[in-house]
Amino acid sequence: MIGIDMFSLAGRRAFVTGGSRGIGLALAAGLGRAGAEVIIAARDETALASAADSLRAEQIKAGICVLDVSQHDRVRMAVDALETAGQPIDILVNNAGMQHRQPLHEFDIDMFDQLMATNLRSVFSVSQAVAGHMIKRGHGKIINIASVTSLLARPGVAPYTASKGAVSNLTKGMAADWAPLGLNCNAIAPGYFQTELNAALMADTDFNDWLINRTPARRWGRVDELVGACVFLAAPASDFVNGQTLFVDGGLTATV
Ligand code: NDP
């Protein structure tokens, strides 16, 4: 395959967790514009319905799946139900995630567990459920959303940092197990993007000043700037790319 076709997602179906807003919605729209049908998953049905309407307004074929990705058994049931309904998943984007900021010596244990279940265990649960079907078909693309904190720490977010480090390493493990079976498993590590997850940071002038100076591109990222990497990792163009974490961070992790 040569030329722009290698980036086409026509005839593919993508399942994007956390697709109701922020980065997930931008990625769903980007995959849709590249030709994929998309199913967006999250817990809030009203937000999902309105996000799906915004996709359909762009002529993207969009469906919703109300799902808490931290519920292992429910994830399996939801994925199997799609397969049974004749809606197999060709592209999985594990994007759902949460943040909780608290000094490590005071960090609440229940919040630690919730954060790990949402950011890390969900990647295992959804991927395992989807990969079972992909393996039977001999192909599939899994894209995990990691973070610059997969590599680097900042105060107040140690458990998040641990979860995202593990997401990047789990991506390598997925490649080791599933690349021989025809799947491509990779991760995208976004820098800092202005979404609800970062509301506290956006309101913090000191953080803003620090970020602008620390980032070679001298600004926050725009969610649409993650789309190119996602389409690449979802498309035939990346058929020999396995276990990689692609940093889309304005140069932040390339510099001290
Ligand atoms: P948002 O808070 O804007 O969106 C989070 C999405 O995840 C929502 O759709 C939310 O929907 C969904 N979600 C949260 N918990 C669950 C759950 N248990 N089950 C199903 N869906 C869930 O976050 P962002 O768009 O900023 O972040 C998306 C991903 O990108 C996360 O993994 C985040 O860690 C990562 N990231 C973000 C960066 C940034 O700068 N914004 C930087 C690096 C990584 P609902 O609440 O309805 O379930």
Compute the distance between CA of residue 43 and CA of residue 151 in angstroms, rounded to an integer: 29
Compute the distance between CA of residue 40 and CA of residue 18 in angstroms, rounded to an integer: 7
Is residue 134 a contact partner of residue 140, using CB atoms and an 8 Å limit?
yes
Compute the distance between CA of residue 152 and CA of residue 94 in angstroms, rounded to an integer: 21
| 56-60 CB contacts, 8 Å cutoff, 24+ apart | 58/29, 58/32, 58/33, 60/28, 60/29, 60/32, 60/33
> Which two three-digit tokens encode residue 131?
């990969």
Pocket perturbation via mutation, ligand 1, pick of 17, 43, 253 by most ligand atoms within 8 A of CB: 43
Quote the pLDDT of residue 2: 64
Could you tell me if the CB of 198 is within 6 A of ligand 1? yes
Ligand 1, atom 10: nearest CA belongs to which residue? 18
- Of the residues 131, 140, 144, 160, which is catalytic? 160
Quote the pLDDT of residue 228: 98
Is residue 158 a contact partner of residue 104, using CB atoms and an 8 Å limit?
yes
CA 220 to ligand 1: nearest atom:
40
> Which two three-digit tokens encode residue 33?
């514009």
Quote the pLDDT of residue 3: 77
Pocket perturbation via mutation, ligand 1, pick of 15, 16, 17, 21 by most ligand atoms within 8 A of CB: 21
CA 198 to ligand 1: nearest atom:
41
Instruction: Using 70 as the pLDDT threshold, list the residues of the chain that sit under it.
Output: 1-2
Ligand 1, atom 19: nearest CA belongs to which residue? 68
160 among known catalytic residues: yes
Could you tell me if the CB of 193 is within 6 A of ligand 1? yes
Closest CA to 223 of 26, 39, 31: 26
Ligand 1, atom 39: nearest CA belongs to which residue? 193
Could you tell me if the CB of 230 is within 6 A of ligand 1? no
Closest CA to 25 of 14, 9, 12, 13: 14
Q: What torsion do the CA atoms of 226, 231, 237, 242 make, to the nearest 10 degrees? A: 70
Alpha carbon of residue 183 to chain centroid: 17
Closest CA to 31 of 77, 62, 66: 62
Quote the ligand 1 centre to 122 CA distance (angstroms): 12
Per DSSP, what are the bridge partners of residue 245? 187
Quote the pLDDT of residue 176: 98
Quote the pLDDT of residue 72: 98
127: phi then psi, degrees, rounded to nearest 5:
-65, -45
